[in-house]
Amino acid sequence: MDDLTLVRVRELEVAVRIWHPGAPRTLIAWHGLARHGGDFAEFARRLGPDWRVLAPDTPGRGLSSWSLYPSHDYLYSHYMTIAVAVLEHFHLERVSWVGTSMGGLLGMLLAAEPETAGRIERLVLNDVGPELDPDGLASLASYFGVPHRFGRFSELAAELRRHYAGFGIHDEATWRRLTLESARRLPDGGWTYHYDPRIGEQFVHDTPRDTWADWRAIRCPLMVVRGADSPLLRAETIERMRREQPTLTHIDVTGCGHAPMLDHPEQVAPIADFLARPLPATPPVSHREVAWWQRSWAWLRRRIRG
């Protein structure tokens, strides 16, 4: 990490980790459910110095505030508010987005909503899509729905390796860094993970929506990275995603489940290639134009109803 910015969103402080702060192009990299922006350190290094990588810690994770109102703040609707606040803080009209798991779904919702669609220039989803395997999702919810306590640091390290085996990590240095950045000491001397244990309440309080409709609504270039052994994103789901969005770019990452760390050349190079492609000839309408049309349409409907 080369820099750190703290963005205030109402009572919450959101930490945004930054690599290559002086780079000419900007990318938002958003982490998964129980992770933090630090996971993108190697991705940013391999992507190169031409990209400023902004990786926020979602509230309840990493260096960001924990919410006093989890049932309100640990929801996708509020994460969208957080994301827009980050874009506004950095004066980003449009930006490319790489999202792992939860971060990918967040990017997908932003790209689908009329008010924010124009702000997502390109979207890369890392092992996530509009449909997730229900058994895999239930396993995820049950694991993060309960607090985890370890008597010794070594026990936390062993459990981290077991639970995150799907990341496809093979070297000791990465496991060591992941463990050090994931641990939090408890007042009684024990150990737990860095995140607020109440983030799992998202599975209880969040409002279901038609994510396939969201997927069809997206107009920016799309890419999906899938762990070849993913328990969440099935191969047949990728096929349906491609039918709904024929220009979809897709790669499978061997030796990974949920979700690839995006830290190896064979994972980063295709993303870099996707980000370098020319944009469609007609760019999406900006969020300000969309808002203007929505206000005009609302006014017209009121006049018609009279």
**CATH code for the structural domain at 3-305:** 3.40.50.1820
| Tokens linked to 175 | 């496991």
Domain coordinates of the chain in residue numbers?
A: 3-305
Tens digits of per-residue pLDDT, 134-166?
Answer: 999 999 989 998 999 999 999 999 999 999 999
pLDDT score for 288: 52
Paired residues of 296 in beta bridges? none
Closest CA to 250 of 105, 137, 129: 129
pLDDT score for 304: 39
pLDDT score for 204: 87
Instruction: Give yes or no for a contact between 95 and 69, defined as CB atoms under 8 angstroms apart.
Output: no
**What residue has token string 């980063």?**
268
Paired residues of 3 in beta bridges? 18
Please list the ranges in the chain whose pLDDT falls under 70: 282-306
The residue ranges of DSSP E strands in 93-185, in sequence order, are 95-100, 120-126, 183-185
CA distance 51 to 27: 7
DSSP 293: H
Contacts of 20 (CB under 8 A, 6+ apart): 2, 44, 48, 49, 50, 51, 52, 53
Mean pLDDT, the chain, as a whole number?
93
pLDDT score for 299: 55
